[in-house]
Structure 1
Amino acid sequence: MKRRTFLQTSTLLGASLGATAKAASSEPLIIATWKNEKATIAGWNKLMETGKALDGVEAGARIPEADPNDTSVGYGGYPDRDGHVTLDACIMDHVGNAGSVTFLEGIMHPISVARAVMEKTPHVMLSGAGALKFALDQGFKVENLLTESSKKAWEEWKKESKYEPVINIERHDTIGLLGIGKAGEIAGACTTSGLAFKMHGRVGDSPIIGGAVFCDDEVGGACATGLGEFVMKTLGSFLIVELMRQGMSPQKACEEAVMRIVKRYKYKEFQIGYLALNKKGEYGAYAIQKGFNYTITKNGKTQVIESASYM
């Protein structure tokens, strides 16, 4: 029995060391949902500077957050039906630490507030007025995020006040990012201003760990975009990571996560897109509807790739 225990322990240790060596050989990269070259390039540059995947995904998320022409993330985001731009974001590192904010107003970079929640509080999620107070205590400044163009769109919407999610609106939506650092570690982030003209107080999947983003450094990471209610109902990113743990490739895991939705819901009415990455540096993506794409920056080169889809 002692000999058997020794052999089992030696085998497990050898497998562990082999996995670590293989993971460490993965090349650093940043990958993001939708056509987000500026975000992945900024994330890649930061990753190359510090070596850390967490720094890379945060830096990448900050790009659309500050872009007034991006109507689905941060500054310039379409408001809710009451005219408020409310923000959700989350971030997760390679050892399971996570932070998120929901229903946050007036802060340009909710992804950085989410990281502060992760690193400076005993909590995972802060919401609304509490999240804002925390952000101000950390030195963030209140800014008006409702641009004139987004305000005009809201005023036009109010003429009929018809709420109707639009599939692949302007071919971008919530941005989710995954990264592999120089040490082979994986991190993820997600940020959004949510659905245009949503009910005041609505929170989607973007700040939900296991919904919008999930990372496990033994396996890989996943992120989601689209109509968040259905990502939440199936915990899509967590599901994908667990499927990869069971041996599925990132591509097959994304496909299975989409099928879990297709089998139960009226999928023709909305879009969900998933993106996944494993420790080998392999990645995959899949969506319900045509039109989902993603961006990867690796070895200093950036590429936008059209995802396969169920429809």
Structure 2
Amino acid sequence: MYDSLTVKMFQMKSDKLPIINSAWDILSGGGSALDAIEEGATVCEVLQCSGTVGFGGKSDEDGETTLDALIMDGRTMNVGAVGALRRVKGAMSVARHILDYTKHSILVGDQATQFALKMGFKEESLITPNSNELWVEWNDEYHCQPNFWTNVEPNPEEYCGPYKKLDTLGKQRTPQKRNVGIDKFNHDTIAMVAVDKNGDVAAGTSTNGVKFKIPGRIGDSPIAGSGAYADNTVGGAAATGDGDVMLRFNPSFLAVEEMRRGASPNAAARTAIDRIASYYPSFSGAVIALTKDGEYGVACHGLETFPFVVQDSTRETCEPVSINCS
């Protein structure tokens, strides 16, 4: 048994190495996988990785940034998660507090904020000048294009709301196409899986969701089995991509169950990705999988390449890896 850490990364730049270093320092020093996941994701939140994690970055269609995060303990099968967290920056740490100090698994919205304040977190705006500038441009210059509405009027492909549902009673319904392009700058998540010296597995995610989402939306990241999953008897997995689609298939759970059945991590991740692609061939996303013995695998779809980082006790330094998704 040896320590192992697999992390979905954004771009292989030196300013992202603190994410790996901080998490690996905990593992290599004998710390827990849970602590490593919390610390690594928190560093990414502070760094505002690619504008897709942490405060600022992507806002909803009202101009507000909200946060989703999940952490799962593979020893106890306990989960802490937060969805649509408002006005509190440390989403992963709030999720950890839900795991440690409640019997619940997920808290959302303003009530999650109130919980965080009781736990000593600070309430502050998550809007930054950059995120506000992007929202103003989307709202004023691009007339709310693209967005996530469908089967409403006025036509969401041409106008801003407010919208009302189409009256389709007694009429043939013609669904409007989804007009949001999901790419690496619109959906990304910090997704991590770790095994510590005790053989305990943990997995976690953190994100600020998709750009200009409908307020209140949460994606796959804070959903156990979808965004991430961990089980000491097998290993763990985590996902990133088009969360509204991916959460319908619980890809992280499926990858872990495939490894339980004897599949390699690569094959397990591929099965999870292919299941989604068989229904949604144009979706984009990826799954990372890690066995309890430190073997890792990755599969992706709908992206040109997918970067991630691996570190374990057999390596002097972290290894950035990029696979071709086509």
The bucket for the TM-score relative to the shorter chain is 0.7 to 0.9
SS in structure 2 opposite 1:70?
helix
Q: Is the 8 A contact 1:273 1:287 kept in 2?
A: yes
| 1:52-131 to 2 correspondences below 5 Å | 52-68=32-48, 70-95=50-75, 96-131=77-112
Cα distance in 2 for residues equivalent to 1:47 and 1:28: 6
Ranges of 4+ aligned residues in structure 1 off by more than 3 Å: none
The question of 1:40 aligning with 2:20 is answered: yes
- The answer for the alignment partner of 1:217 in structure 2 is 232
Residue 312 of structure 2 aligns with an amino acid whose one-letter code is K
Distance change in 2, residues 1:115/1:251 (3 Å): same
Aligned to 1:295: 309
In structure 1, runs of 5+ residues without a counterpart are 1-24
Would the aligned equivalents of 2:66 and 2:126 in 1 still touch at CA under 8 Å? no
Contact conserved, 1:286 with 1:308, CA < 8 A, in 2?
A: no
Amino acid in structure 2 at the alignment position of 1:142: E
Q: Does 1:30 align with 2:26?
A: no
Structure 1 residue 107, shift from structure 2 partner: 1.1
Number of aligned residue pairs: 282
- The residue aligned with 2:167 is none
Q: How does 1:124-273 map to 2 (within 5 A)?
A: 124-158=105-139, 159-160=141-142, 161-163=144-146, 164-169=180-185, 173-265=188-280, 267-268=281-282, 270-273=283-286
Q: Is the 8 A contact 1:293 1:307 kept in 2?
A: yes
Give 1 or 2: higher helix fraction: 1
Identity %: 36
Structure 2 CA distance for aligned equivalents of residues 69 and 183 of structure 1: 30
Aligned partners of 1:69, 1:244: CA distance in 2, in Å? Answer: 30
Gaps of 5+ in 2: 11-15, 147-179
CA RMSD of aligned residues (A): 1.5
Say whether residues 1:280 and 2:293 are aligned partners.
yes
* TM-score computed with the length of structure 1 as normaliser: 0.87
Which residue identity does 1:53 align to in structure 2? A
Letter matched to residue 306 of structure 2: F
- 3-state SS of paired residue (1:141): coil
Q: Is the 8 A contact 2:182 2:242 kept in 1?
A: no
Tell me, yes or no, if the aligned pair for 1:205 and 1:212 is still in contact at 8 Å.
yes
SS of match in other structure, 2:305: coil
* Per-residue deviation, residues 188-210 of structure 1 (Å, max 9, x unmatched): 11011000111111110111000
TM-score, normalisation: structure 2: 0.83
State the alpha-carbon separation in 2 of the partners of residues 53 and 68 from structure 1.
22
